[in-house]
Amino acid sequence: MAAKNRGKETFSIMVILLIPVAIAINIVGGQMTSILKIPVDLDMIGVILVGALAGPIPAAVTGVLTNLINGIMDPSWIPYAFTSFFIGVSAGLLSKYNMLTKVWKLAVSGIIIALVATITATPITVFFFGGSTGGGGSMIAAGLMATGVQIVQAVFSVYIVTESIGKLISVFVAYFIIKVLPERTLVKYRFGEKFIKAKEK
């Protein structure tokens, strides 16, 4: 009985309804960065938001589905579902241990998520795509390789820079959204109370 209740808690109807919104935020956020020509990937804000509010498993589901749905148009997204899975899990766990409630904690969390993203995305880029990512990043990686750096190291160094900036901004945007969400909405999510308490202080 307890197990069943916990399952319901993880995927309550509010969470089921939050996931499509979060995926749409990821996709629209990604498109907005290209409309506004911002050279940072902000396509994981929704995943971090779900992680902060509803925990690791819903966030991982959000991440994987984001990549699969983007994969309908561009299949090169699909292998990175692995990366999104771990971004979701880490965002959820960071929220569980109250790491998303203060500015310095957010900065640390952003770096942790960026590290997770870099470590999981580098092998995919190197082994699935031979070092090519299709974006401006691969040009920088190619430039590094021209100076004699190995492919793995070149891709890793490009990712660690772009991901750190992207994930730091994403974490802060997600936090900003949670801060302006009304308490009656927050309380309906598993970790929502943490942010209500954080507001009171």
CA–CA separation, 164 vs 97, rounded Å? 21
CA–CA separation, 95 vs 89, rounded Å? 10
For residue 168, CA distances in Å to 2, 45, 59, 124, 201 come to 37, 10, 17, 22, 23
Nearest-approach distance from CB 197 to other proteins, in angstroms = 20
Candidates 9-17, 86-94, 98-106, 156-164 — which segment interacts with other proteins by CB under 8 A?
9-17
Residue 151 as a binder of other proteins (CB under 8 A): the answer is yes
Question: Which two tokens mark 156?
Answer: 């890793």
Residue 11 as a binder of other proteins (CB under 8 A): the answer is yes
Q: In this chain, which of 44, 47, 54, 65 binds other proteins, going by CB under 8 A? A: 65
**Total Cβ atoms within 10 A of residue 12:** 16
Nearest-approach distance from CB 28 to other proteins, in angstroms = 5
Residue 76 as a binder of other proteins (CB under 8 A): the answer is yes
Candidates 89-97, 101-109, 114-122, 145-153 — which segment interacts with other proteins by CB under 8 A?
145-153
Residue 52, Cα to own-chain centre: how many angstroms? 11
For 100, the 3-state DSSP assignment is: coil
Q: In this chain, which of 7, 34, 39, 102 binds other proteins, going by CB under 8 A? A: 39
Q: In this chain, which of 128, 161, 164, 198 binds other proteins, going by CB under 8 A? A: 128
Candidates 29-37, 81-89, 94-102, 109-117 — which segment interacts with other proteins by CB under 8 A?
29-37
Applying CB under 8 A, what is the total number of residues that bind other proteins?
55
Per-residue burial over 149-168, b = 16 or more CB atoms within 10 Å of its CB, e = otherwise? eebeebbbbbbbebbbbbbb
